[in-house]
Structure formats: C-alpha cells, structure tokens
C-alpha cells in the first residue's frame, strides 16, 4: 500500500484524531501535505514509507510504555522528537535532571518504595504523589505528612515522584506554553474545578486561550533549550506546563511526547505545527 507522507499518531480511544483535529488536517492540506491519522499499535501501517510521523494523541501509552517505546524506536528518524526524547520524557524523574541543570522546577523527589514516599512527604508537609510514568492526572494523590502512608488498593503502586502541593494551583491553576521549532507560539491557562487540584477536563477543569506572556514564554523557551542541551536531541514540538510558586513561575511538566495541542480551544496552534512538519520535506 502506498502510505501518506505525513502520519499523525493516535490511539484507539481517539481514533479520529485529537480534539479539534480538523484544524490540523486543514492546515496540513493547505500546505499541500497529505496526512492520515493512524493508531500507533496498528500493525498494518507502513511507517517506513512516511516522510514524517508525528505523535499526537497516543494517550494510552502510559500503561504500555515498553511497547510504545519499542514502536517509537522502530519508526526511526521520521518520528518527530523521537524515541530517545520519549524515553527521557515519559518518566517524570526528568524533572530532577532539569532542576540539576538549573531550571526552576517544582521540587521533585523520586520514590521507589513506601518508605521513600513517607520520607519525601514528611519533608514537604502536604505532598502530591504521582506515578513516574503517568498522564491525564491519573494516580495523582495528595498525602498529608506521609506518616504511616500506604498505597490503597486504588492507588498507583509505584514507582512514584513526590512533590510539595503547590497551593496556587487551586486558584490560578497551570499555564502552558507551546514551543514549536524552538519558538513559543501560544499559551493556555488551565484551572481545576472546585475542591480539585487537577486541571484536566475529566476532573472538572477548564482551559482557555490567553495572550502569550513574556515571563511564561521565556521560561518555556528556556525549558526546551535546557532539555536540548541535556539530552542532545532535536525537539520539534513541546508543551511546557508551569505553576506559580514562591512569587514566580516554575516548570511542573514538559510534554515532549504527546502534548495535546488544545486545538479545540486554540485552533491557531495548528499552523505552526503544520509549518514544522512542512520544514521536514
Ligand atoms: N505538586 C503539585 N501541586 C499541585 N498540583 C499538582 C501538583 N502536581 C500535579 N498537580 C495537579 O495534578 C495534575 C496532573 O499532574 P501532572 O504532573 O501534570 O501529571 P500528568 O498531567 O502527566 O498526569 C496537574 O495538571 C495539576 O493540576
Ligand atoms: Mg500534566
């Protein structure tokens, strides 16, 4: 079968494409690029025949990480960002690497067992515990003090990262900047619903497009540049999530694997992403 030159990668649950995908489809077509949404685990796809493979909404990877990274490695150089970036970025302990490199990030401790969780949570007072490999807010748990903490049957069973609970999230949420081809292009503010700390829609959170702020754009560009230095790979796209802590912004997550482009609230993100794809031809 002759393959589309651009493959946009998704998962079964989002088989049609990420939310608002029509904006990206239109932007690619307007640049004369033929594209197709495909499932990363579809064995019938001829990955080697595509010029560009872009992971978009492969949001089921976190429970199948080994398989996902194996697939990414097999795709080879057509894959934007690529398997090495994904391997680093899908384990939240990368935040520790970034802190060591001097970037302002939410204080983060890696915890492999229950005693390490307790020790870290004690140090932070009110702590947030989350899977080292996780997405979409799944497995996020607030731990008070850590004394006697044990994972419940519903808890993630580790390994984890532990952070102080950043209280500003309740009122101000997170702000995210998309960095495409090294350039900050847009910003979205995300706030949680009442009584929640998670900003994701499935927990009652809301997102809205805002004007790009100098402070957020600067930190986001710095976060991507620091990562490029650290891992020595090209980064074509990324989303940098930040929170307010100690009167300034700090990085809470860098999404270099499957950052949703928020095309439903921000269809204009499609243009720079399509330009970055066009630049590979
Ligand atoms: N240290 C923290 N303090 C306050 N809220 C947090 C903290 N860590 C995570 N959260 C909340 O939980 C959500 C999910 O955590 P996050 O680290 O973004 O993981 P992922 O999005 O990969 O599941 C965040 O978007 C934020 O709303
Ligand atoms: Mg997140």
Residue 251: C-alpha distances to residues 31, 94, 177 (Å): 34, 12, 11
pLDDT tens across 145-183, in order?
A: 888 899 998 889 999 999 999 999 999 999 999 999 999
Average predicted confidence (pLDDT) for the chain: 96
Instruction: For residue 33, report the distance from its CA to the centre of ligand 2, in Å.
Output: 31
Average pLDDT over residues 214-223: 98
| Neighbour count for residue 81 (Cβ, 10 Å) | 21
Give the residues surrounding ligand 1 with Cβ less than 6 Å away: 106, 128, 130, 134-137, 140, 163, 165-166, 169, 174, 192, 197-199, 241, 252-253
First-to-last alpha carbon distance for the chain, in angstroms, is 21
Confidence category of residue 198, pLDDT binned at 50, 70, 90:
very high
Secondary structure, 3-state, 207-228? EEEECCCHHHHHHHHHHHHHHH
Q: What backbone torsions phi and psi does residue 83 show, to the nearest 5 degrees? A: -60, -40
**What's the Cα-to-Cα distance from 140 to each of 93, 112, 130, 247, 249, rounded to whole Å?**
15, 16, 5, 24, 21
Sketch the domain layout of the chain as residue ranges: 6-80, 94-104+169-256, 109-165
Ligand 1 center to residue 198 CA distance, Å?
Answer: 6
Q: Superfamily for 94-104+169-256?
A: ATP-grasp fold, B domain (3.30.470.20)
User: What proportion of the chain, given as a percentage, has pLDDT over 70?
Assistant: 100
Which residue puts its alpha carbon closest to atom 11 of ligand 1? Answer: 198
| pLDDT for residue 154 | 87
Check residue 247 and give its pLDDT: 82
Summarize the confidence of residues 115-127 as an average pLDDT.
Answer: 95
Give residue 146's pLDDT.
Answer: 84
Q: Say what the pLDDT of residue 2 is.
A: 78
12 has pLDDT over 60: yes
pLDDT-based confidence at 1, cuts 50/70/90? Answer: low
pTM score, two decimals?
A: 0.96
Nearest to 121 by CA among 148, 146, 152, 147: 146
Name the residue among 109, 115, 106 with its Cα closest to residue 161: 109
């Amino acid at each position: 079968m002759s393959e589309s030159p651009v493959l946009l990668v998704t998962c079964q649950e989002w088989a049609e494409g990420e939310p608002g995908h029509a904006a990206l489809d239109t932007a690619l077509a307007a640049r004369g690029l033929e594209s197709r949404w495909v499932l990363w685990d579809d064995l019938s796809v001829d990955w080697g025949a595509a010029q560009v493979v872009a992971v978009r909404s492969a949001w089921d990877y976190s429970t199948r990480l080994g398989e996902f990274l194996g697939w990414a490695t097999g795709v080879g150089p057509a894959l934007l960002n690529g398997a090495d970036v994904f391997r680093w970025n899908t384990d939240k302990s990368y935040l520790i690497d970034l802190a060591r490199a001097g970037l302002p990030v939410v204080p983060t401790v890696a915890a492999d067992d229950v005693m390490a969780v307790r020790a870290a949570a004690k140090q932070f007072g009110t702590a947030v515990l989350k899977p080292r490999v996780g997405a979409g807010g799944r497995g996020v748990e607030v731990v008070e003090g850590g004394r006697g903490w044990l994972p419940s049957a519903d808890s993630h069973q580790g390994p984890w990262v532990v952070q102080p609970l950043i209280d500003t999230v309740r009122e101000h949420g997170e702000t995210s900047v998309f960095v495409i081809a090294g350039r900050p292009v847009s910003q979205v503010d995300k706030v949680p619903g009442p009584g929640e700390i998670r900003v994701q829609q499935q927990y009652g959170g809301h997102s809205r497009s805002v004007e790009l702020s100098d402070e957020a754009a600067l930190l986001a560009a710095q976060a991507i540049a620091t990562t490029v230095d650290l891992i020595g790979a090209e980064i074509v796209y990324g989303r940098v999530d930040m929170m307010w802590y100690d009167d300034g912004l700090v990085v809470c997550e860098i999404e270099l694997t499957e950052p949703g482009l928020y095309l439903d609230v921000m269809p204009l993100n499609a243009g720079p992403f399509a330009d970055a794809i066009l630049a590979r031809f």
